[in-house]
Every structure is written in structure tokens, then in C-alpha cells.
Amino acid sequence: AQTVTQSQPEMSVQEAETVTLSCTYDTSESNYYLFWYKQPPSRQMILVIRQEAYKQQNATENRFSVNFQKAAKSFSLKISDSQLGDTAMYFCAFMRALAGANNLFFGTGTRLTVIP
């Protein structure tokens, strides 16, 4: 079974600073996908970034980037130049790369607060 662990229930960061959210996962699969999702207060959950396990290059999306360490089964999210709108719950998620097996396994989330 796949498990996803987010060891930081809550974090805070000053506006314009950089913050890193941690995520580790456990799987026996060699190919899979990893995601970070953002859920702002009382708003829709949205996809922040996606990483394919067979790609060594770390994914980036504007101010968001990941540090993907496949051997260590680690997938951290770095948010640069933090903005007030980044305040949200952040969920790390895992998906197997098998046809017909597209269920997402979520971590327990990290609540990030950006302080003005």
C-alpha cells in the first residue's frame, strides 16, 4: 500500500520569504506521479505542481518548485517570494502509473500561513 507522510501540520512564513514543505512517501512502484495541491480557506482545491517519477528534473511552476529525491522517497515543495494568497492547506499526493489505477493517495496536509 502507498502511504504519504507530511510531518509538518502547521507552518508560517513572512511575506516575501521562502518556505519549504516536506513530504515523504512509501511505495514499491518504480514509476508513479507526485503532486502538490493547495486548498485555500473555504475555496476549491487546486493543483500546484506535478512530478513524473521517471523524470529526474525537478518540476517548477513560477514561484513553486519541488525537490524530488527518488531514492529517499522525498518530495518537498518550495514556495519562493511568499504572498498572502499562498495561505492555505497544502496536500502532497501520490498516484501509481498503472493504466486504470489513477487513485490519488493524499498526505494529512500542512497548514501554511503567510504573515504580512
Partner 1 sequence: EADIYQTPRYLVIGTGKKITLECSQTMGHDKMYWYQQDPGMELHLIHYSYGVNSTEKGDLSSESTVSRIRTEHFPLTLESARPSHTSQYLCASSRTDYGYTFGSGTRLTVV
Among 31, 33, 30, CA closest to 4: 33
Q: Which x/- pattern over 81-110 shows residues binding partner 1 (rule: CB under 8 A)?
A: --------x-x-x-x-x--x-xxx-x-xx-
Query: Judged by CB under 8 A, which of 24, 39, 76, 87 binds partner 1?
Result: 39
Query: Judged by CB under 8 A, which of 45, 60, 81, 84 binds partner 1?
Result: 45
Is residue 46 close enough to count as binding partner 1 by CB under 8 A?
Answer: yes
Residue 109 CA to residue 98 CA, distance in Å, equals 25
Residue 15 CA to residue 13 CA, distance in Å, equals 6
Site size toward partner 1 (CB under 8 A) is: 23
Among 36, 91, 85, 39, CA closest to 64: 36
> Closer to partner 1 at the Cβ: 66 or 95?
95
* Lookup: cell for 9: 501540520
Span of 19-27, 41-49, 55-63, 70-78 interacting with partner 1 by CB under 8 A: 41-49
> Closer to partner 1 at the Cβ: 14 or 102?
102
Quote the Cα angle for 93-97-89, to 5°.
10
